Structure 1
Amino acid sequence: MKKIIFSVLFLGVIIVLLMQTELGQMLRSGNIQEVAANIQSYGWVAFFIAIAAVVIQTFFPVIPFVLLAGANVLAFGLWVGFGVSWFAAVMAALANFALARYAARDWAEKKMGHHSFVKNLNRHAETKGFIIILLARWIPVLPSSAINTAAGISKIPFKWFLLATLLGKIPAVFFESVLGHYMINWEAHKGKLVLIGIGLVVFMLGINYVKKKKKSTLLS
């Protein structure tokens, strides 16, 4: 009963922040320039506002994280913006993991328990759990919330999830911070966006090739 109450209260706070605050209204509007300007206007408190925005986005993705990371770059500059987004993304992932493992496990298992990623993670949680989560963080098509929830209902030790998330989020968030900044200022970065798009396609084709080759090796 306590777990259910905690889950409801936690999500209730997130909903209130999204629906009843100025920042929440701007997140729902999708106006990234306005979000960045609003974050800047709070002075040193802006860091906490930016972190709250990422946590809200994790549970209610009204705008893509990549654009929110871009807004943080606009508000703080590249390196500080990346650092804020990385820290916030790690905190949000830990909150998501904790909810799935300790507070809403039954619901999470019904939602994700049948997925092949969860089954594979469970089979290798204690021996390869760290590398599975680390690599999953680098695959653009895998939603972070799905990875967090899957890890929460798996047998992976918390310390390996934490370490894989801390390390795995570094290149992923940096890439999304730069990409988000380019997307917000797309007119000045059209050529770079095209190159990034081509790179992502090649990357995904490479992953697909490796998967097929691995399957053929196992079957032979």
Structure 2
Amino acid sequence: MKKWSAAVLYAALFALTFIYRHELAAWIQGTPPVWLLLALATLLALFPVMPYKIVVAAAGYVMGTLGGGTIILIGSTLAGAIVYGGAALFRESAERWLARYERLERLTQFSANRPFRTIAICRLIPILPQTAVNIYAGATGLSFFHFILGSLVGKLPAVYIYAYVGSTVEERPLLAAIIAVSYFVVLLLVLWVWGFRQKKI
């Protein structure tokens, strides 16, 4: 049921991106400086006033796949590093906040010897709250190097795919929809196969 809910959510996000593409473009029109776009990408990751997939698609629509994707990748990773630092600094408060996410507690044993892989996989799972992942990493003392590297690698596929979706949504909406849905389906299959293999080990 949760997988279907995630699929419906992604379809809704894609539809909203297409419907409000002109408004989103107008929001940052005028070719603002890169530092301002980076600051916006970071702030919208820190304070998600709208689903971040819409932000990614909007960045791709306005700046193209490479430019928009890169800005989003750097901004969202910077936001994650800020939250990581805050969780490490206020560890007790972070641990109390994490108590609401029981599934994250299961990561502790797995992440002990696989910090990079843990973060990369968490970034790939679309239904996993990414703020919780950032706080978890900081509160549990996960290596900052592995946290950043895992974040970049794990986010990279989704960021550039959705930036590409945003860049093509107006001229080729059907292709954009097919790519977005295909990515989600392939990701689910990969995660399912990986989970099945882990159970057999």
TM-score range, shorter chain: 0.7 to 0.9
For 1:136, which of 122, 125, 130 is the aligned residue?
122
Residues 214 and 90 (structure 1 numbering): CA distance in 2 closer, same or farther, change over 3 Å? closer
**1:49 aligned onto 2:36:** yes
- Is the 1:39–1:49 Cα contact (8 Å) retained in structure 2? no
Q: Distance in 2 between matches of 1:166 and 1:213?
A: 25
Residues 79 and 99 (structure 1 numbering): CA distance in 2 closer, same or farther, change over 3 Å? same
- Is the 1:112–1:149 Cα contact (8 Å) retained in structure 2? yes
Q: Distance in 1 between matches of 2:89 and 2:168?
A: 39
Residues 116 and 163 (structure 1 numbering): CA distance in 2 closer, same or farther, change over 3 Å? same
- Is the 1:137–1:165 Cα contact (8 Å) retained in structure 2? yes
**1:100 aligned onto 2:84:** no
The alignment's C-alpha RMSD in Å is 2.7
- Cα deviation, residue 161, structure 1: 0.7
Q: Distance in 2 between matches of 1:179 and 1:69?
A: 9
Secondary structure (helix, strand or coil) at the match of 1:81 reads helix
**1:60 aligned onto 2:44:** no
Identity over aligned residues, as a percent? 25
- Cα deviation, residue 31, structure 1: 4.9
For 1:152, which of 138, 142, 145 is the aligned residue?
138
Residues 209 and 164 (structure 1 numbering): CA distance in 2 closer, same or farther, change over 3 Å? closer
* Residue 26 of structure 2: aligned partner: 37
Larger Rg: 1
- Cα deviation, residue 91, structure 1: 0.8
Secondary structure (helix, strand or coil) at the match of 1:193 reads helix
Q: Distance in 2 between matches of 1:95 and 1:157?
A: 14
- Is the 1:133–1:164 Cα contact (8 Å) retained in structure 2? yes
* Residue 110 of structure 1: aligned partner: 96
* Deviation by residue 1:111-136 (Cα, 9 ceiling, x = unmatched): 21363443233224442111110121
**1:177 aligned onto 2:163:** yes
* Residue 188 of structure 2: aligned partner: 204
* Residue 3 of structure 2: aligned partner: none
Give the counterpart letter for 1:160 in structure 2.
H
Note the 1:81-96 alignment, pairs <5 A: 81-96=68-83
Secondary structure (helix, strand or coil) at the match of 2:28 reads helix
Give the counterpart letter for 2:40 in structure 1.
A
Give the counterpart letter for 2:106 in structure 1.
N
Q: TM-score, normalised by structure 2?
A: 0.75
| Bigger relative contact order (CA 8 A; separation at least 6) | 2
Give the counterpart letter for 1:113 in structure 2.
A
Give the counterpart letter for 2:162 in structure 1.
E
- Is the 2:122–2:128 Cα contact (8 Å) retained in structure 1? yes
- After the TM superposition, which segments of 4 or more aligned residues of structure 1 sit over 4 Å from their partners? none
For 1:189, which of 160, 163, 173 is the aligned residue?
173
Secondary structure (helix, strand or coil) at the match of 1:53 reads helix
**1:121 aligned onto 2:107:** yes
Unaligned 5+ residue runs, structure 2? Answer: 1-18
Give the counterpart letter for 1:204 in structure 2.
L
